[in-house]
């Protein structure tokens, strides 16, 4: 079982990471009003809504927060990797998934792994069987479920 897993699951996890690294080196990284276009459907999108042509038209900004919730420090930010010099439209046309938004959410400094659902909501490693409309709601729900616990400092043994 361990062998088959390494051949597929771990490789898939690695692919996600290396893909992001490749994009970072080929394209510039930016968080501007323009990059929000790729993020529009992520934050406020209806599943049936087409990907907007321009972030300005939607007026959405990447989510960013920092607060103390039930005595825990929660922070979150989204950065979106976008191509430099007018290639953004190509990436946007390919869909938000290809723009690789990087979700960085922390509880007391420890990273909370978060995934996007098709409807733009979020699922975290703490709440794996329900989703939340915003990163803030996801982080708060994780604190509720964690009780007094801290997140694990390291990712699972084979998941890196």
Partner 1 sequence: MYDRKNQRNLTRTEKRRLVGAILELKRSGRYDDFVLLHREFYVSDGEDRPRAAHMTPSFFPWHRQYLLEFEKALRAVDPAVSVPYWDWTSDNTPGASLWAEDLLGGNGRPGDRQVMTGPFAYATGGWTINDGVSEQPFLTRNFGRPSSPVTLPGKDDVARALKDPVYDAEPWNSVSGTGFRNRIEGWGIRGSRGVSNHNQVHRWVGGSMSGAGSPNDPVFWFHHAFIDLLWVRWQKAHPRSGYRPGARTGGSGGDRERVFGLDEPMPPFGVAPSALLDHTRLYRYV
**CA-CA distance, 146 to 160, in Å (whole number)?**
23
Least CB distance to partner 1 at residue 94 (A) = 9
If binding is defined by CB under 8 A, does position 106 make contact with partner 1?
A: no
Residue in 17, 22, 90, 149 binding partner 1, rule: CB under 8 A: 149
Q: How many CB atoms lie within 10 A of CB 111?
A: 16
Q: How many CB atoms lie within 10 A of CB 132?
A: 19
Residue in 4, 68, 71, 86 binding partner 1, rule: CB under 8 A: 4
Residue in 17, 18, 128, 137 binding partner 1, rule: CB under 8 A: 128
Residue in 29, 83, 123, 134 binding partner 1, rule: CB under 8 A: 123
């Amino acid at each position: 079982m361990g062998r088959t897993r390494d051949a597929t699951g771990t490789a898939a996890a690695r692919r996600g990471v290396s893909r992001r690294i490749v994009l970072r080196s080929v394209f510039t990284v930016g968080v501007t009003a323009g990059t929000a276009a790729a993020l529009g459907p992520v934050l406020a999108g209806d599943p049936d809504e087409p990907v907007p042509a321009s972030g300005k038209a939607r007026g959405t900004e990447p989510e960013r927060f920092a607060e103390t919730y039930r005595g825990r420090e929660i922070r979150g930010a989204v950065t979106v990797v976008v191509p430099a010099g007018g290639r953004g439209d190509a990436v946007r046309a390919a869909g938000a998934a290809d723009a690789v938004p990087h979700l960085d959410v922390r509880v007391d400094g420890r990273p909370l792994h978060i995934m996007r659902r098709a409807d733009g909501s979020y699922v975290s490693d703490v709440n794996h069987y329900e989703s939340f409309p915003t990163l803030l709601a996801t982080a708060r729900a994780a604190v509720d479920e964690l009780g007094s616990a801290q997140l694990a400092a390291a990712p699972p043994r084979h998941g890196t």
